[in-house]
Amino acid sequence: MSPNPSSQDGRLAEIFGAPVADLHERAAASPGVPALTRALELRSFLALAEEQVDRVRDRVHGAMAPDRDMNELSADELRFDAQWLAAAIDARDGYLAALGQLLRTMPAQAVDRSSRPVEFAQPQITTTLPPAAAAPAPPRAGAAPGHRP
């Protein structure tokens, strides 16, 4: 299966750790990862909406080309293309928002990161113990305060 490209393919590859074509294979082989299945469905809808935006944009550009005969221009066709373009952009925006929300809210275990190295948010800090000659801590240091009557 060779899916149409979408503007979010890089983000999906980064989050799920594989190119989109591999993600489709992974979802087909083990459909037990609902977040991946939903993300790929939204990605497919997004790719279709983006393809529609491209087609209408290219059609309008062609109709408005400087070397085009002005007698071929049709206000009705351009008005229809503007409506079509608005609908396609609205659909694209909706799919982008839905995919973004899914990727932000999906549980961490939904993403199979077993093949990726562990990443730590902050560097690890190490310390050494003070020498034995240091003064001992007071007997109640760190203890919870006692109950007072």
Taking the model in full, what pTM does it have?
0.67
Closest by CA position to 108, among listed 39, 53, 46, 35: 35
Please give the C-alpha separations between residue 43 and each of 12, 81, 139, in angstroms, as whole numbers.
Answer: 9, 24, 63
List Cβ neighbours of 26 (8 Å cut-off, separation of 6 or more): 16, 18, 33, 36, 112
The residue whose two tokens read 């006692």 is 146
The pLDDT of residue 118: 43
The pLDDT of residue 30: 82
Q: What is the pLDDT along the chain (149 residues), one digit of tens a residue?
A: 446 899 999 999 999 999 999 999 999 988 778 889 999 999 999 999 999 999 999 999 999 999 999 999 999 999 999 999 999 999 999 999 999 999 998 865 455 444 444 444 444 544 455 555 554 555 555 555 555 55
The pLDDT of residue 136: 53
The pLDDT of residue 113: 47
Q: Which amino acid is at 144?
A: A
The pLDDT of residue 52: 96
CB 52 within 8 A of CB 95: no
The pLDDT of residue 106: 80
